[in-house]
Amino acid sequence: MFKDIAFGQYYPTSSFVHNLDPRIKLLLTVLFIVTIFFIQTYFSFLVTLVFLIVVILFSRVPVLSVLKSVKGILFLVLFAAIINLFFVSTGEVIYEKVITDWWTFRITWDGVHNSIKLTLRLIFLITGASIISLTTTPMRLTDGIESLLKPLKVIKFPVHDIAIIMSIALRFIPTLLDETHKTINAQKARGAAFDTGGLIKKAKSMLPVLIPLFVSAFRRADELAFAMDARCYNATEKRTKMRKLKLGWRDLIATLFVAGYATFIFVDRYYFLGLDHVLFPGVF
């Protein structure tokens, strides 16, 4: 289960997406996430799928590594789809059954379409977020966030402190996941069962895992604090960086590519809502 979490895991290789400036990747990812919620037609979803495939190909990240993140939220996606399917009652009725005097079980075409679109939005959202995690090291991601937050220094916001906290958190996500996996295997070797019983029993079975995990996390935090203190680390304003962030031609191409995609989605939403009837005749 924990191996399915792709966030915080970096795939080391050299690609067009890997070499982008982390600030540009962060801004373009935010633009992509915002654009997803403006998608209204299935044709736009198809264009988004092609867009993600192109990005994955240019990132040289294995498709299975990207899909692992989707597998990790599969339960949430199915739950949200079922909720929309059963509780959206507008539109043409497909199936209807009276359960009680105050509730009628009804499935409509609007509920089906809302479920499909919500499922696609969640899948595309997680896929896009996992790509930036797989193609950017925690240190570069933190440098990008710190650079974007620099204007907040005017109001005395501790930008560097927040950045170093995020860097440490991102750095230890894979470590904690690996340690959790080892702890679960150790408990299984001692006869513990994590996949049997009801929801309450499964939750109780996780206590032997959570307690040593918390102890280990606090121990690592204590050791890291002593190590940073021994090296006289402090978040002064005069700190320098070995690698300075610079924009290049790749960043310009990526910005134009994502901006073109976002523009098409907005135009399709507000001016070409009839494309589904043209491209998918007989379905709508």
Per-residue pLDDT of the chain in tens (284 residues, 90 and over written 9): 445 555 557 788 888 998 899 889 999 999 999 999 888 888 889 999 999 999 999 999 888 888 877 777 777 788 878 887 777 767 676 766 666 666 666 777 777 788 888 888 988 988 888 888 888 887 888 888 888 888 887 887 877 778 778 777 777 777 777 788 788 787 777 777 666 666 676 667 777 778 888 888 888 888 888 888 887 777 665 666 767 778 889 999 999 999 999 999 988 887 765 556 555 554 54
pLDDT at res. 33: 92
Q: Say if CB 6 and CB 234 are below 8 A apart.
A: no
* Strand, helix or coil for residue 164: helix
pLDDT at res. 141: 83
pLDDT at res. 96: 67
pLDDT at res. 236: 60
The alpha carbon torsion through 153, 158, 164, 165 (nearest 10 deg) reads -140
Q: Residue with structure tokens 């190590």? A: 227
* Strand, helix or coil for residue 233: coil
Nearest to 13 by CA among 57, 50, 53, 49: 57
* Strand, helix or coil for residue 241: coil
Confirm whether pTM is higher than 0.95. no
Domains of the chain by residue range: 2-158+244-279, 159-234
For 103-117, letters b (16+ CB in 10 Å) and e give eeebbbeebbbbbeb
pLDDT at res. 254: 93
Two tokens, residue 22: 């982390």
User: 95 φ, ψ to 5°?
Assistant: -145, 140
